[in-house]
Structure 1
Amino acid sequence: MPRILRFLVQALGLPVPAVSYRANADADQTRHYSVTVLLNVTTGPTGEDLSFLGYQHGQPLAQAEVVGDGPLVLTVKAPNPDVAADYVFLIGNGNGADEYGRSWPSGVRAVSVGDVLRITAPDGRTLYLAVASDQLRPVDAPTNIVPLLGSSATNHL
């Protein structure tokens, strides 16, 4: 499903079709990307959730993790970082698992507008992409990483 259509479907509150990224992977896609999802947990002065308005540098981000088991780093096979990001978006919305069978943790909200993906390429270079309403856009490395527990991105207190 094209990225823009996926975002529109999500914005309308409709379920994103369950599609495994592996079904679309070519046999020659041998590059493995490690991806960490940083969830935007920005709130307003009265506690309202502002995370879905899009990421702005300096906003607080919480690294997705499996509660009690540490940070979640997803490994996907893709021809380039953009496709890796698409695969992680699907996994982060409850559709499938990574190369090692890791799926999105229960109790952590889905990946959405305002979140940032930290993508590490096989050569060690790291790229940060913010999820916007119609695309992924490159951003500088985030500087305000906060704990996931107790944030608006999880229902665990």
Structure 2
Amino acid sequence: MTTALHRPQLVTACIDTAEPPAPSPADYTVTVYVNTARHNFDGYRPRHPLAEVTHPNGSPLRLVFHTNAHIKDHEAAADAAYCVGNRQGVDDHGQSWPDDVRSVSTGDVVKVTSPDHWIIHLAVIGCGFSPVPEPTLLVPLAGTRPTRRRP
């Protein structure tokens, strides 16, 4: 004889907190600044305006990469961020590139913080990266995110 068992319905939800776990002491953290100058794809110049990439809710996007055999210096972390910024994967905390922000391109700048808190700014160039001074002209990411119309 069989009897019917009633199970409670399961509810699953994907909650985007937009706040990844805090990086561990052995992580590289990368912040990407997209170049908003008129001819930004010609390369970065120190007076070009840059906008920090953020989550859709406006909080800063910090890509995190654990130190390992492939990520062992600033340039390797920058390269990993470039891949994420071109929608070719996620960082080590599962963060992907926002859908409403253009891909990382020549002329953009990445800020890489190493496990020992040493910071370097690298401009994306045609083949790799080039060290640059810390950017001074930061602007809001406005204009790259779609606006929502009210019904």
Q: What TM-score does the superposition give when structure 1 sets the normalisation length?
A: 0.72
Which residue does 2:47 correspond to in 1?
Answer: 58
Instruction: Please provide the CA RMSD for this pair.
Output: 1.3
Q: State the shift of 1:140 in Å.
A: 0.2
Q: Where do 5+ consecutive residues of structure 2 fail to align?
A: 1-24
Q: Which of 97, 107, 121 pairs up with 1:128?
A: 121
Which residue does 1:18 correspond to in 2?
Answer: none
Residue deviations 1:65-87 (CA, integer Å, cap 9, x gap): 11214110000121111111111
Q: How many residues align?
A: 119
Which residue does 1:39 correspond to in 2?
Answer: 34
Q: Which stretch of structure 1 is more off in the superposition, 50-59 or 61-70?
A: 61-70
Q: Where do 5+ consecutive residues of structure 1 fail to align?
A: 1-29, 44-49
Q: State the shift of 1:36 in Å.
A: 0.3
Question: If you compute each CA radius of gyration, which structure gives the higher value, 1 or 2?
Answer: 2
Answer 1 or 2: which has greater helix percent.
1
Q: Does 1:156 align with 2:151?
A: no
The correspondence of residues 65-144 of structure 1 with structure 2, limited to 5 A, is: 65-77=54-66, 78-144=71-137
What's the secondary structure of 1:84's corresponding residue? helix
Supply the distance in 1 between the matched residues of 2:131 and 2:35 (Cα, whole angstroms): 15
Verify the 8 A CA contact 1:31 1:79 in the aligned structure 2.
Answer: no
Moved over 4 A (4+): none
Residue deviations 1:79-137 (CA, integer Å, cap 9, x gap): 11111111111000001111111000011000000000000011111100000112200
Supply the distance in 2 between the matched residues of 1:60 and 1:68 (Cα, whole angstroms): 22
What's the secondary structure of 1:90's corresponding residue? helix
Q: What TM-score does the superposition give when structure 2 sets the normalisation length?
A: 0.75
Verify the 8 A CA contact 1:40 1:116 in the aligned structure 2.
Answer: yes
Supply the distance in 2 between the matched residues of 1:37 and 1:126 (Cα, whole angstroms): 13
What's the secondary structure of 2:141's corresponding residue? coil
2:87 maps to amino acid: G
